[in-house]
């Protein structure tokens, strides 16, 4: 009995510091934001309780917020339909043992370890209307007078931020997929080869089903990362021009720290957290059966 209590005490000693940090920097700020969201508050003066007034304002009165949510959902779609398929394809190719496998893993993962601020500055140079790489390539194709302002045009500003946002984390998801594929026992593939299964049949019947937990993890990371996107977009466009590239996080930042609307900004911050939790729950439910089938194999 004493030995068991001693083990629990040791576990508590190791877990407690991380738990304190998590509660202090995640749970408490979330609760405070949730409380502030029900008040009209400028951070200095008196807090006036307005109930759901901030939330009603978000969806019924603030057209910029609705636009920002739409943009974030478009980024989610781009991540799921472009980023993850590319990552999975690269992982499957590398997992076969191609020449220079370690080199390519490093190269693909390199953008992940570079600061988003640096990535944003890099892509701003690429989209520059005067000396940017993209415009220079188009001019080289014969359109010598081409001088399009990608980041200052409302029609293309947000799309120009989606491209680097998707590109930056391809290597991140690729590495997760790669590790998942490498963890699949080779016996399954050898048995499939003996049975004469094609590569597509092997992927369909073995790789994809056994990767279900990994795919679920990447889908959740991709969705929540897109819904929380901030730094890259803020560096490249600041949410402009004319709020065309706003996402909820950039709008929240401006309301909180530039306009001093602590109550309204907190409501937007709390909405982002709830939105991420809802999508995580939905994805977990969708993958529940696939995970059960994978664990049964």
pLDDT digits (tens, 9 = 90+) for 153-207: 999 999 999 999 999 999 999 999 999 999 888 888 888 888 777 888 888 888 8
Q: What angle do CA 50, 54, 56 make, to 5 degrees?
A: 105
Instruction: Indicate whether 34 pLDDT > 50.
Output: yes
Phi and psi at 48, nearest 5°, equal -110, 120
Contact 232, 161 (CB under 8 A): yes
| C-alpha distances in Å from residue 105, one per residue of 58, 175, 294 | 43, 7, 26
289 vs 111 pLDDT, higher one? 111
Give residue 2's pLDDT. Answer: 47
Question: How far does Cα 125 stand from its chain's mean position?
Answer: 23
Instruction: Average the pLDDT over 231-245 and give the result.
Output: 91
Instruction: Average the pLDDT over 13-27 and give the result.
Output: 86
**b or e along 263-278 (b: 16 or more beta carbons within 10 Å of the residue's beta carbon)?**
bbbbbbbbbbbebbee
Give residue 6's pLDDT. Answer: 56
Give residue 295's pLDDT. Answer: 64
Instruction: Indicate whether 146 pLDDT > 90.
Output: no
- Rg (C-alpha) for the chain, rounded Å, is 24
Q: Is the dihedral of CA 80, 82, 85, 87 positive or negative?
A: negative
How crowded is residue 112: how many other Cβ atoms within 10 Å of its Cβ? Answer: 15
- pLDDT above 70 as % of the chain: 96
Superfamily (CATH H level) for 60-296: MetI-like (1.10.3720.10)
**Which residues are CB-contacts of 88 (< 8 A; sequence separation ≥ 6)?**
173, 174, 177, 215
Q: Give me the count of residues in the chain.
A: 297
Instruction: Indicate whether 118 pLDDT > 70.
Output: yes
Instruction: Indicate whether 9 pLDDT > 80.
Output: no
pLDDT bin (cut points 50, 70, 90) of residue 1 is very low
281 burial class (0-12, 13-18, 19+ CB within 10 angstroms)?
Answer: exposed
Please give the Cα distance from 108 to 91 (Å, whole number): 10
Give residue 187's pLDDT. Answer: 85
Phi and psi at 40, nearest 5°, equal -95, 115
- Crossing angle of the two packed helices 212-227 and 84-95, in degrees rounded to 10: 140
Give residue 273's pLDDT. Answer: 92
The domain spans of the chain are 60-296
How crowded is residue 29: how many other Cβ atoms within 10 Å of its Cβ? Answer: 14
68 vs 198 pLDDT, higher one? 68
Closest of 220, 232, 259, 277 to residue 34, by C-alpha: 277
In tens, the pLDDT along 263-288 reads 999 999 999 999 999 999 999 999 88
Instruction: Average the pLDDT over 56-69 and give the result.
Output: 92
């Amino acid at each position: 009995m004493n030995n068991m209590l001693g083990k629990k005490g040791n576990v508590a000693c190791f877990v407690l510091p991380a738990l304190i940090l998590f509660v202090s920097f995640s749970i408490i700020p979330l609760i405070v934001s949730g409380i502030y969201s029900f008040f009209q508050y400028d951070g200095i003066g008196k807090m006036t309780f307005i109930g759901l007034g901030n939330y009603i304002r978000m969806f019924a009165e603030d057209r910029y917020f609705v636009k920002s949510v739409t943009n974030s959902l478009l980024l989610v779609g781009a991540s799921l339909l472009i980023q993850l398929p590319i990552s999975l394809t690269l992982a499957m190719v590398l997992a076969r043992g191609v020449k220079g496998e370690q080199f390519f893993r490093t190269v693909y993962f390199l953008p992940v370890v570079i600061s988003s601020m640096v990535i944003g500055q890099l892509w701003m140079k690429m989209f520059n209307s005067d000396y940017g790489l993209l415009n220079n390539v188009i001019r080289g194709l014969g359109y010598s007078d081409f001088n399009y302002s990608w980041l200052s045009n409302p029609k293309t500003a947000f799309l120009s931020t989606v491209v680097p946002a998707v590109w930056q984390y391809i290597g991140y998801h690729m590495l997760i997929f790669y590790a998942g594929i490498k963890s699949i026992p080779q016996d399954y593939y050898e048995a499939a080869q003996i049975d004469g299964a094609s590569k597509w049949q092997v992927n369909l019947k073995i790789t994809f089903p056994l990767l279900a937990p990994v795919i679920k993890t990447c889908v959740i990371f991709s969705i929540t990362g897109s819904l929380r996107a901030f730094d890259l977009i803020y560096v490249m466009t600041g949410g402009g021009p004319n709020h065309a590239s706003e996402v909820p996080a950039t709008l929240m930042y401006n309301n909180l720290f530039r306009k001093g609307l602590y109550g309204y900004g907190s409501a937007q911050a709390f909405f982002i957290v709830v939105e991420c939790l809802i999508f995580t729950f939905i994805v977990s439910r969708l993958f529940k059966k696939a995970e059960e089938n994978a664990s049964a194999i």
